[in-house]
Amino acid sequence: SDLREQEERGELLQPLIFILLVLCSVLLYFKVSLMDPGFVKDDEEADKSEEEGMVIPQVLSSVKMRRCGYCMVKQPMRARHCQLCQHCVRRYDHHCPWLENCVGEKNHPLFIVYLSVQLVVLLWGAHIAWSGLPFEQSWDWLQHNALLLVSFLLIVIFTIIVLLLLVSHLYLISCNTTTWEFMSHHRISYLRHSELENPFDQGVLLNLWRFFC
């Protein structure tokens, strides 16, 4: 009867949504970590790079596509060889140690969705932990609530990390650049020889549209 009354008041809906969000987060984690991030498989596939058709002609004329010295495939522009995955990855962003997989052309949008869902779960978890902490200045209170307090602090730390990661990725996506290109601009030939600081930037709205759609 108590469960039925709670259901009628809508009190069971929130925990159900929270559990579904956690489940969604776990499924997204496995999906992003296990899927092909955009491995370059052969010369024929490498020649079909969509970004090469969008790049400014001056960049293409001054930069020659090179063959990877590790896996011996012809690298399309914006691809990079990952020493950990032992593959060249299209539109390489970074190798994520938490996922044990690269973030590249195919799984980067899902990676952003995963971070977004994870952030919602962490914020909700922080709210739940905070609401269960009736602060009192006593040793007994600290003994009884130590685990909840530590959990809250850990959630806050993870929330800050995920928030900063998500914001930085959204900023780079809005500029149509990658973490690798942003960090190694001076070492990348097609950026170093370009007259523009970022030859791929087509405006915030178009950059976001091309990335997510």
CA 157/CA 118 separation, integer angstroms: 13
Are the C-beta atoms of 125 and 155 separated by less than 8 Å? yes
**CB neighbours (10 Å) of residue 54?**
13
Which tokens sit at 153?
A: 């602090």
Indicate the pTM of the whole model: 0.83
Give the position of tokens 């990658």.
178
96 noted as active-site residue = yes
Check residue 14 and give its pLDDT: 82
Q: Can you tell me which residue has the tokens 């962490």?
A: 122
Selected catalytic residue, list 96, 102, 175, 213: 96
pLDDT at 46: 46
User: Going residue by residue through the chain (213 aa), what tens digit of pLDDT does each one get?
Assistant: 555 665 555 567 788 899 999 999 999 999 999 999 999 987 555 455 544 544 454 455 555 667 888 888 888 889 999 999 999 999 999 999 999 999 999 999 999 999 999 999 999 999 888 887 676 666 666 677 778 788 889 999 999 999 999 999 999 999 999 999 999 988 888 888 777 888 899 999 999 999 998
- d(CA 164, CA 48) in angstroms, rounded, equals 34
Q: CA-CA distance, 106 to 186, in Å (whole number)?
A: 26
Q: Which helix (H) or strand (E) holds 191?
A: helix 189-192
**Residues with Cβ within 8 Å of residue 65, at least 6 apart in sequence:** 46, 74, 75, 76, 77
Beta bridge partners of 87: 82
Query: Mind listing the pLDDT tens digit for each residue in 108-141?
Result: 999 999 999 999 999 999 988 888 767 666 666 6
The closest of 158, 155, 165, 161 to 127, measured between CA atoms, is 155
Nearest to 105 by CA among 44, 46, 61: 46
Domain layout of the chain by residue ranges: 1-34+106-175
